[in-house]
Structure 1
Amino acid sequence: MRKFLVMLEDSRECLNAMRFAAMRAANSGGAVTVLAVIPPGEIQHGFGVAEVMRSEAYERIEAHFEVFAKWMRSRPKVEPELVIREGDPAEELLAYLAQDPAVGIVAIGLTSDKTVQNPVLARLLRDASSLPCPITIVPADISKERLEAIT
């Protein structure tokens, strides 16, 4: 079974990448893995605060994931898997790709704002020739109808 890997972020481009991955998985008999990464700066260490912040970050991610998962289960009929890691998002994505050979495609959302850089996409493109699978870049401005047509 081919897995579509998509990163969970709070952005419009993430929404389209999720839609693309779910619809492609449904139409090809695949699965969706959603990777959420907690950057090191979100968890401050010291005085027992780190565990509280970590717990809150996990709860926030799980609630955010459930919004996407509910849609995936009801509309394209896909049961997504959530993977949560801590560290640099790009490095954790690359580590996950090395760990899970079932991942067949990484879906990354691309913002239409030319002033915003996507560090994960930049990192993947820097080493694109050594990746174990293709990257699909999903534009933020693509319509739901167009996504349905191409998936």
Structure 2
Amino acid sequence: MRKFLVLLDDSRECLNAMRFAAMRAANSGGGVVILSVIPADDIQHGFGVADVMRAEAQERIEAHFEVFAKWMRSRPKVEPELIIREGDPAEELIAQLSDDPEIGVVVLGLNADKSGQNPVLTRLLREAATLSCPITIVPGDIPKERLEAIT
């Protein structure tokens, strides 16, 4: 089964990447893997603090994931898989590609704001020739109807 890998974050464009991946998976008999990365800088190390911070971050991620998962289960009828990793988002995405050979496409949302930076996309494009699968970039401001038409 071909899986579509999407990076879950708090960005607006993440929504369109999720929609695109779910609709493509539903239309091609594939699956969706949602990767969320807890940045290592967000976890303070200290006496018991790191475990509490990690647990709180995982709870937030799972709640965020459940919003997307509920829609995926009901509309395009796809059961997404959640992977939570800790570290640099770009490095962890690349590591996930190595860990799961069934991932066939990375789907990333692109911010319409030209001044915004996307370090994950920048890193993936630098290493695109060595990746095990293609990257699909979904504009963050593309209408939902257009996404449905092209998937």
Structures share a fold, TM > 0.5? yes
Alignment match, 1:94: 94
3-state SS of 2:113 partner: coil
For structure 2, the 5+ residue unaligned runs are none
For structure 1, the 5+ residue unaligned runs are none
Deviations 1:49-79 (A, max 9, x none): 1111000000000000000000000000000
What percent of counterpart residues are identical?
78
Amino acid at match of 2:66: E
Distance 1:108 1:84 in 2: 17
Amino acid at match of 1:100: D
Distance 1:31 1:39 in 2: 25
Distance 1:134 1:31 in 2: 16
Number of equivalences: 151
Distance 1:83 1:40 in 2: 16
TM-score between the two structures when normalised by the length of structure 1:
0.99
3-state SS of 1:121 partner: helix
Amino acid at match of 2:50: A
3-state SS of 1:109 partner: strand
Alignment match, 1:26: 26
Alignment match, 1:41: 41
Output the aligned Cα RMSD: 0.5
> 1:47, CA displacement in angstroms?
2.2
